[in-house]
Amino acid sequence: MKFKKTLVAMTILLAGSAMADVNVGVSIALTGPGSGLGIPMQNQFKLFPKTIAGEKINLIILDDATDPGKGVTNARRFLTEDKVDIIIGSCITATSAAMAPVIAEGKTVQLSAAPVGVPPGQDHWLFRLPQGFGVMAHPIIEHMVKSGVKTVGFLGYTDAYGELWLKELEARAAKAGIKVVAVERFARTDTSATPQALKLVSANPDAMLVVASGSGAAMPHKALIERGYKGKVYQTHAAATPDLVRIGGKDVEGAYVVSGPAVVAEQLPDSHPSKKASIDFVTKYEALMGAGQRNQFAGHAYDAAIVLEKVLPGALKKAKPGTPEFRAALRDGIETMGRTIFSHGVMNWTKDDHWGYTDETGVLMKVVGGKFVVEK
């Protein structure tokens, strides 16, 4: 009889404490074309803290199969069945964008690992973990000013990636007194950028910005060099992969490439605020996954834990987990948490800015001897 009573008491106790746990819903792409982004995040979540501020953290990880519809279903499940306090995901822009209105309706914070372009004002519950384009353009423009660049040519994708970069470049270059003298476009599937390179080289700007991703960034770069361009060539953060050097070979030697700090941790100058966090992330992740496995998206998952560690204690003082008040307190906490060091840079979310990274974030690297070397 006594045993039974103890059992009942324990169950009640357990149920009671389970109620108080903080539930975190994670919806990322573990299958489908976006799985290359979601799987590193899932790996990093294995290292997610088990308790924060004395509260047990329950991670509920669901696969959205790179499908916006599935993402919305996951979001609904999080809100209605799992009664989560915060949602992380997705790593795919289209999926994140589809989930946003549903999550906002459920009055829950969404930490998106993809750069979602919801206009300011409509992103009340939405905070982004990746860097925006302006933050990445900052070190490029800064370097151009420092090295006396007065004119710049633009050779970029015809898609949204190229468009957003062009907008940032034009705005920031104008402020810095640099003239954009030629704008040429190409498509990812093009087999030749010779005509564009001809036109750009004949405009003879002091520097060129090539906006393309991965190994695709090598072809336009080579076209410029083959047409005899001798000035500085800059590349964006999507090109900051070993593929650029693998395909580009000696033609990309001396190119400047901007990157987030997380993936070049060891090389960061000691003055870079993210150095400690980046090294911590890279060491732990590569201890789990093997050397050389560091990855932009695993870094976002790492940063999500930093956010929770910073805002949970404050929110716990205001309300109990699982209540709408708690979720609202989390949101307010994130918005007012102030300057916070991420592995990916320095974050400062404010009421009007849910992108939040400061200009201290981006790192400019130079290709030297087939390796990326941080440019100081």
Partner 1 sequence: MDFSIASILALDGLTNGAIYALLALATVLVFAVTRVIFIPQGEFVAFGALTLALLQAGKVPGTVWFLLVLAGAVAVSDVWNGVRLQHGAGRIARTVLRTLAYPVAISLVAFWAAPRGLPLVAQALLTLALVTPFGTLIYRLAYESLADATVLVLLIVSVGVHFALVGLGLYFFGAEGFRNPSFWDARFSIGPVTLSGQTVIIFFASIALIIALWLFFERSLYGKALRATAVNRLGARLMGISTIGAGRLSFTMAAFIGALSGLLIGPTTTVFYDTGFLIGLKGFVAAVFAGLSSYPLALVGALGVGLLESFGSFWASAFKEVIVFSAILPVLLWRSLRDPHSEEH
Binding site for partner 1 (CB under 8 A): 33, 36, 158, 184-196, 198-199, 202, 214-216, 218-219, 241, 243, 247
DSSP string, 94-155: HHHHHHHHHHHHTT-EEEESS---PPTTS-TTEEE-S--HHHHHHHHHHHHHHTT--EEEEE
Give least dist CB 195 to partner 1, A: 4
CB of 227 to partner 1, least distance (A): 8
DSSP string, 162-192: HHHHHHHHHHHHHHHT-EEEEEEEE-TT-S-
Nearer to partner 1, 69 or 195 (CB): 195
| CA dist., res. 82 & res. 102, Å (int) | 15
> What is the smallest separation between the CB atom of 64 and partner 1, expressed in angstroms?
19
CB closer to partner 1 out of 184 and 360: 184
Minimum CB distance to partner 1, residue 67 (Å): 15
Please give the Cα distance from 240 to 232 (Å, whole number). 16
Kindly tell me which of 182 and 308 has the beta carbon lying closer to partner 1.
182
Instruction: Find residue 342's DSSP bridge partners.
Output: 345
Nearer of residues 227 and 366 to partner 1, judged by Cβ: 227
Shortest Å, Cβ 188 to partner 1:
8
Smallest distance from partner 1 to CB 255, Å: 16
Taking the least distance from each CB to partner 1, the nearer of 154 and 342 is 154
Q: CB of residue 242 vs partner 1: minimum separation in angstroms?
A: 9
- Number of Cβ within 10 Å of residue 319's Cβ equals 16
Distances, alpha carbon 35 to alpha carbons 40, 41, 63, 76, 257, in Å: 9, 10, 9, 21, 26
Please report where in the chains the tokens 């990445």 appear, as a residue: 136
Nearer to partner 1 (CB atom), residue 243 or residue 353: 243
Give me the phi and psi of 112, to 5 degrees please: -85, 135
The nearer residue to partner 1, 103 or 225, going by C-beta atoms, is: 225
Task: Give CA separation, 168 vs 97, 175, 190, 204, 236, in Å.
Answer: 22, 11, 24, 21, 12
Shortest reach from residue 362's CB to partner 1, in Å: 23
Residues recorded for the chain: 376
3-state secondary structure of 29: coil
Tokens representing 354?
């849910």
Q: Which of the 8 DSSP states describes residue 235? A: E
The residue among 25 and 216 lying less far from partner 1, judged by its C-beta, is 216
